[in-house]
Amino acid sequence: MENQQLSLVNGANGHLGNNLVRLLISKGLRVRASVRSIGNKKPFEGLDCEVVQSDIADKQSLVRALQGVDTFYAVGAVFKLWAKDPQKEIYDVNIRGTRSMIEAAAEAGVKRIVYVSSIAALNYTTIPAKESYGYNPDRRDMYYNSKNDGEQLAFKLAKEFNIELVAVLPSAMIGGEAFAPLNVSYNILRLILQKQIPVETDIALNWVDVKDVAEGCYLAATKGMSGERYILANETCTSIKDTTKIAQQLFPELKIKLPLAVPKPVLFVMAWFMELASKINGKAPLLSVKDIAMFSGLQQDFDLTKSRKELGFNPTNTDEVLKESMHYLIKHQLVQLKIF
């Protein structure tokens, strides 16, 4: 019986991981949730699942966590776009983690892996981007590089070990259950609501409901073709400016202003000073030079034909997801509101 099969989700206290655990439980599946540190029990309160410890940097901990597992949802990874040493803190961790996850799965006898990659691993030279256009040729960002190289390594190792592996490529995930600290995508909404994005950067994001991505992961496990990759996103992206307009309409009492348009050279100078401050205080800058260079003007629009046809993936409308997510942040007091 399918519901007797055991699924493991690692990174299970993260935004996608935790919502995926909840989805699998709702489908009557046996779920084992794996986290790097089991001290924080809050994400699993009231959930009927086993919680175990494992770390993508420790292969033996993964082997132990994967004992008796049929389907492994490989969610665990470093998700950040800035670090003092991005090669060491982002790229190396994610590449070694991918190798450890696939090797551990092979050792534990896992039959099928859903590998969570990212839209960072897509080629944007033709828009809308498709899975078949290959990998991202832009090598300026270590997180993006780790997702491009990590996905290719995952397919290569899965083939060597004769394990079925399907890759899913989500966009900017918001919505669903969330716990502080917020992920990169949700944090942008928080900044908008807190009136902390003062200037127009011409950056757009492809917002997607994390619950839809969780469903897409499950569909990839049950319907996805081994060796294939599937985009889990919406068709079109939304600018930070248009996202701010939605916040204005929802919460007029907050008096949120639209970001101010400034010339691009000024943006670069602002970003340079922000990065300089980050090198001193160790906190991620609100904006980096690389952010402007890579993402300003980039249209993250996608052709979802493959995901819709082969998986039955059907994402929620972007505006609906944004409204629900903003309400969630305020309801759960994950935003410091300034009403003036």
Tokens at residue 271, please?
A: 């970003």
> pLDDT tens digit string along 162-208?
999 999 999 999 999 998 888 889 999 999 999 999 899 999 999 99
Q: How confident is the model at residue 340 (pLDDT cuts 50, 70, 90)?
A: low
The number of angstroms, rounded, from the C-alpha of 63 to the middle of its chain's C-alpha atoms is 24
Taking the mean position of all CA atoms in its chain, how far away is CA 40? 21
Instruction: Look up tokens 């995930």; give the residue.
Output: 173
Cα 331 vs. chain centroid, distance in angstroms? 23
Q: What pLDDT, on a 0 to 100 scale, did the predictor assign at position 180?
A: 82
Residue 103 near residue 61 (C-beta atoms within 8 A):
no
Quote the radius of gyration of the chain (alpha carbons, Å). 20
Give the model confidence (pLDDT) of 286-333 as tens digits: 889 999 999 999 999 999 999 999 999 999 999 999 999 999 999 999
For all residues of the chain together, what is the average pLDDT?
A: 95
Only one residue has tokens 């206290």, namely 13
- How far apart CA 146 and CA 193 sit, in angstroms, is 31
Q: Is the pLDDT of residue 105 over 70?
A: yes
Q: How do residues 128-137 score in pLDDT, each as one tens digit?
A: 999 999 999 9
* pLDDT score recorded for residue 181: 86
Q: Above 80 in pLDDT, residue 338?
A: no
Q: Which residues of 190-211 are buried (b: 16+ CB within 10 A; e: fewer)?
A: bebbebebeebbbbbbbbbbbb
Q: Which residue has the tokens 């790097």?
A: 36
Phi and psi torsions of 291, nearest 5° = -55, -45
Question: For residue 2, is pLDDT > 60?
Answer: no
CA 282 to each of CA 13, 84, 89, 278: distance values in angstroms, whole numbers, following the listed order: 24, 7, 13, 5
Banded pLDDT at 213 (limits 50, 70, 90): very high
| Average pLDDT of the segment spanning 262-287 | 92
Query: pTM of the entire structure?
Result: 0.95
| % residues pLDDT > 90 (the chain) | 89
Q: Which tens digits make up the pLDDT trace of 54-96?
A: 999 999 999 999 999 999 999 999 998 888 899 999 999 999 9
pLDDT at residue 78 in the model:
92
Name the band, by pLDDT with cuts 50, 70 and 90, for residue 234.
Answer: very high
Cα separation, 13 vs 170, in Å, equals 18
List Cβ neighbours of 211 (8 Å cut-off, separation of 6 or more).
19, 23, 175, 176, 316
Q: Using alpha carbons, select from 260, 265, 258, 257 the residue that is nearest to residue 292.
A: 265
pLDDT at position 41 = 87
pLDDT of residue 1: 39
Domains along the chain with CATH numbers: 2-181+206-235+302-317 (3.40.50.720)
